[in-house]
Structure 1
Amino acid sequence: MKKIVLLVSIVAFTLSVQAQISVDATKTYLVTKKDGKPFFWLGDTAWELFHRLTREEAVHYLNTRQKQQFNVIMAVGLAELEGLHQPNMHGDVPFKNLETLEWAVTPGNNPSNAEEYDYWDHVDFVIQEAAKRNLYIGLLPTWGDKVVDTWSNSYIFTNEDRAYNYAKQLAERYKNQWNVIWILGGDRVSVPRNEEGVVTADYRPIWRAMAKAIQETFGEDVFIAYHARGNTPSSTYLNEESWLSMHSLQSGHGSRWEKPWETIVSDLKLTPKRPVMDMEPCYEDHPMNPWDNKWTRAERGYFDDYDVRARIYRGVFAGGAGTVYGHHHIWQFVDTTRNAPVWIGDTIIGWRNALDAKAANHIHHLKDLMFSRPDFNRIEDNSMVVSDRGSDYRDIIIATRNQKATYAMIYLPQPNPVQVDLNKLSSGRKRVSWFNPVTGKYRRVKGKYSNGTQTFTPPNTQQKDWVLVIDVR
């Protein structure tokens, strides 16, 4: 009997590891570990999911995101917004004692019994419900304020041992949970510098200790990402860290002028080579740069669905291994009967209404577009665009094609004619279509095309952004 139990345990562990994601042989995109098939990370930032939603609300949220075809839900074990001190929606906190970091766990997990159902039971429930819907949980063990010494009362990982022990307990708890993707970081600078550019601290050993705990539990090839701070040079300050599986950046919410596509191209040239993605582009309905208390609707306004698409598509076409959507009222799960909202500008939408925001229903078309061509080995190739490519976030065109040059996709943020050099693709007849990022529908371009420079005009100007898709037949 013991041999049978042991065998079952080994099989369960093996399957759990295989079901997670990995990096392809070219080190440019992601694959599922189980079968090596391409994986396009389409994430949603639900940072406060474990902390601010009840069981029923979490199920409603997951059901909606499943219908919208997201595949990674990103949430934080130790949440940013008073996650150590303010109980979750079932009245529980994660630790009994912040000095010793002893977990607040109780025997049993019956949700009808408050004495049994603890904070970590609730995290278990959400992760398991996500698994039922084939959703990965991009699990951040902690938000960065618990690691980086700031003005807050959340700084608890003061040394490597505390970080290792916490991460080890967390990893052991979920070692057989197939749908957990590990993400370290959490919107903090791990190597801060002063105004003169001098390094003032180095928190990389703390993250390294957490990564070590995860690797000891799952194996050294376990996928670990990192959520970088906005307005920093992505996660490149971790380039020498052997545990890091993928570079990421946060183009964020401070400006419309960000050019994450340039950072992605630059990071893909680094050695060792890793996939790259924008892990936090501008959020839908987020006020642009509200932090200086000078925000106004008239002068700065909000990021809308077009802003989201225009940034995300170009990031992916530049070589991003996936992308992440966010809504400003979802990450914090705005409900003014419970908590004061954070930086909302002058509009309160509420998280339930925000679930059906425009871009939330548009963005899966990008994943569909990527999967419509079986070859994920893509590169940015803007040499295909002969006409003016533009100069900034408002008009710059980004083109991508596969290495074999049998297909190309060109994102146009404005509905203007574009000249394309078809000689950049392999020889043969070219089938040309316009892809609508809002509807996900194609419109075939009439005519016979093979080589030379051709001009293509978007179907209409009512829709601002379009994707020109060219296939070699």
Structure 2
Amino acid sequence: MRLTGGVFSVALSVLNVAAAWNVTAEYAITPSSDGRFLRDANGLPFFWQADTAWLLFHRLNYTEAETYLSDRASKGFTVVLAVGFTQEGITSPNRNGDLPFVGKDVRQPNEPYWAYVDSIVELAKDKGIRICMVPAWGQYVHDSANNPGVLTASTAPTFGHFIGQRYPYLPKTLVADTNPWWENKTAVKADYTAGGVPPAYNVVDWSPVYDALASGIIAGERDAIANSTTWSPLLTIHPTNQWFSGGPLALASAFLGDRSWLTLDACQSGHADFPPNPPIPWWNARRGWEPVEQMYAAGAHDGTHARPVLDNEPHYENRYSNGNSAHPWWNASDVRTGSWQAVFSGAAGLTYGANAVMQFSITGLYASDGTGPGDYWLADLTLSGSDQMQWVQKAIRDRGDATYFQRVPAQDIIMGDAGVDDKRVTATRDSAGSWVMVYTPTGEPFAIDTTSLASCDDIQASWFDPLDGTYKTFEFVCHGVSEAVVTFTPPVEDGHVDWTLVLELSTSL
């Protein structure tokens, strides 16, 4: 598809006919050979720096989408998360007035709607950004009360095939903000509030619908690339930050770890930093590294199930804690700290979100949902946290392609108390010993064991600034492996306290 004067031409709508534009094989990203990282079609490192833009296809016109994508490209974002069949609903038209389906039938995509999606996917591609396609929001499998939606085991394969054939090589998140294993959450909360002995709840395993959707996507992609029988897309689910007591944790692999189609593990550490309302547990947003560590460890037990891991929805910048205006909102420091900690704990990248941007609220057109102080997406577009995400990627990529796939979490090199929650000092290193990096969110002195470095000769030491991506070198004298534990004191300047220590052999530079 090509745009001319702001007007696009499209082919006639026929189910399972590929789009009028092509996503080439060079667009693909896949797990690395050890399953821990992501790589591009040439086998080179791919760092997942994602922005959250759930309603991009639905609420922005083409000019606005270009403004948005240009901003994110300028800040180093490599991925944008966007939903095809959005949470707005099956009867809600997009900005152009087009509905997603004909006659409310998810097996009959409405061509003008999806042609516009094509145009934005291609626009992102031209700017060096990959769309992570979310085919549908989770409510279309089931709602909070456990009622079935329009995506069923019988309709999901057809819709999945359409998505796969039309958008091959795009990474995909099957559904968003729900889990396969579900009870009636509405009743669980009401009964707990009422007190007494709760009844036994009907637990439904919706994973057959997930499997059907995944199978359809894979079949569609293979049809689009000349009936390949070997290609597998980068595919995951986007769990909630909550789970039911006694059930699997809210991690993609906890529910679906035995599925061959699950090629990426993901969690949502969420937006709340206080204990959950019983009896439904949730992740603590100030401990986003915790589910990352658990996913990473799960893959370590069996190499056949090692997958790249991501926190796919940490706290959004400019969102109230738990989305409630009675609580403070998350700022740049919060999201910056969480991103560094997640990546150093083993994540293959990071996901950022600005609250008004993820929903694309527009005054007088699309009201903000009230979960943050911002109510216009263009204002939140320039929040400082979005600019600071690129420096996490820079610190990792600056170590060079030769060591990129050798990076491992290194919490064991932290000596003494590493700190709790988002005050935790977090470390990563090159498994071959050419460098170590340690992120401190507090500015307080910390001690590390340096014996993982392959040599004590000519080590270059620096403090990397997470606010602007610059290095401040300092003199470091290594006295040999017998003097392994070294205490470092971060600089105090520039109005912030978080820094990343970098120690690397000069031979690796």
Give TM-score scaled by structure 1 length.
0.87
How far did 1:14 drift?
A: 11
User: Residue deviations 1:336-367, cap 9 Å, x none?
Assistant: 2102211334x234111111101001110111
CA contact 1:84–1:154 (8 Å) conserved in 2? no
**Paired position in structure 1 for 2:488:** 456
Residue range with higher mean Cα deviation, 335-344 or 350-359: 335-344
Structure 1 stretches of 4+ with a deviation exceeding 6 A read 12-15, 196-199
- Percent of residue pairs identical: 29
Matches of 2:134 and 2:173 in 1, distance apart?
5
1:318 partnered with 2:345: yes
CA contact 1:334–1:350 (8 Å) conserved in 2? yes
How far did 1:303 drift?
A: 0.4
Q: Which amino acid aligns with 1:50?
A: F
Which of 196, 203, 223 is equivalent to 2:206?
203
SS in 2 for 1:210: helix
How far did 1:149 drift?
A: 3.5
| Correspondence 1:410-449 to 2 at 5 A | 410-429=438-457, 430-449=459-478
**Paired position in structure 2 for 1:114:** none
How far did 1:71 drift?
A: 0.6
How far did 1:150 drift?
A: 3.9
1:173 partnered with 2:166: yes
How far did 1:274 drift?
A: 1.2
SS in 2 for 1:454: strand
Change (3 A) 1:386 1:424: same
Change (3 A) 1:351 1:408: same
Change (3 A) 1:198 1:371: farther
**Paired position in structure 2 for 1:20:** 28
1:381 partnered with 2:410: yes
**Paired position in structure 2 for 1:3:** none
CA contact 2:360–2:377 (8 Å) conserved in 1? yes
User: Residue deviations 1:16-38, cap 9 Å, x none?
Assistant: 23430111111111111x21111
**Paired position in structure 2 for 1:305:** 332
Matches of 1:146 and 1:126 in 2, distance apart?
23
Change (3 A) 1:174 1:101: same
SS in 2 for 1:161: coil
User: Residue deviations 1:395-435, cap 9 Å, x none?
Assistant: 21111101112111111010111122222322233211101
Matches of 1:151 and 1:64 in 2, distance apart?
39
How far did 1:391 drift?
A: 2.4
Q: Which amino acid aligns with 2:74?
A: K
SS in 2 for 1:138: strand
Which of 47, 58, 63 is equivalent to 2:65?
58
Matches of 2:115 and 2:148 in 1, distance apart?
22
1:229 partnered with 2:223: no
**Paired position in structure 1 for 2:269:** 251
Q: Which amino acid aligns with 2:149?
A: Y
How far did 1:104 drift?
A: 2.1
| Correspondence 1:33-182 to 2 at 5 A | 34-80=41-87, 82-99=88-105, 101-105=107-111, 118-150=112-144, 155-157=149-151, 159-175=152-168, 180-182=170-172
SS in 2 for 1:65: helix
1:286 partnered with 2:325: no
Please, what is the CA RMSD of the aligned residues? 2.3
Change (3 A) 1:387 1:316: same
Structure 1 gap ranges (5+): 1-11, 106-117
Q: Which amino acid aligns with 1:62?
A: L
Structure 2 gap ranges (5+): 1-19, 189-197, 223-230, 244-248, 275-283
1:267 partnered with 2:295: yes
Matches of 1:155 and 1:85 in 2, distance apart?
14
Matches of 1:14 and 1:283 in 2, distance apart?
33
**Paired position in structure 2 for 1:216:** 219
CA contact 1:398–1:412 (8 Å) conserved in 2? yes
Matches of 1:434 and 1:143 in 2, distance apart?
42
**Paired position in structure 2 for 1:344:** 371
Change (3 A) 1:14 1:348: closer
SS in 2 for 1:268: helix
Matches of 1:14 and 1:21 in 2, distance apart?
16
CA contact 2:35–2:306 (8 Å) conserved in 1? yes
Q: Which amino acid aligns with 2:368?
A: P
Which of 37, 43, 50 is equivalent to 1:29?
37
Matches of 1:192 and 1:181 in 2, distance apart?
25
Q: Which amino acid aligns with 2:471?
A: Y
Q: Which amino acid aligns with 2:157?
A: Y
How far did 1:95 drift?
A: 1.1
CA contact 2:140–2:149 (8 Å) conserved in 1? yes
CA contact 2:146–2:182 (8 Å) conserved in 1? no
User: Residue deviations 1:366-391, cap 9 Å, x none?
Assistant: 11111111212221112222242112
Give TM-score scaled by structure 2 length.
0.81
SS in 2 for 1:77: strand
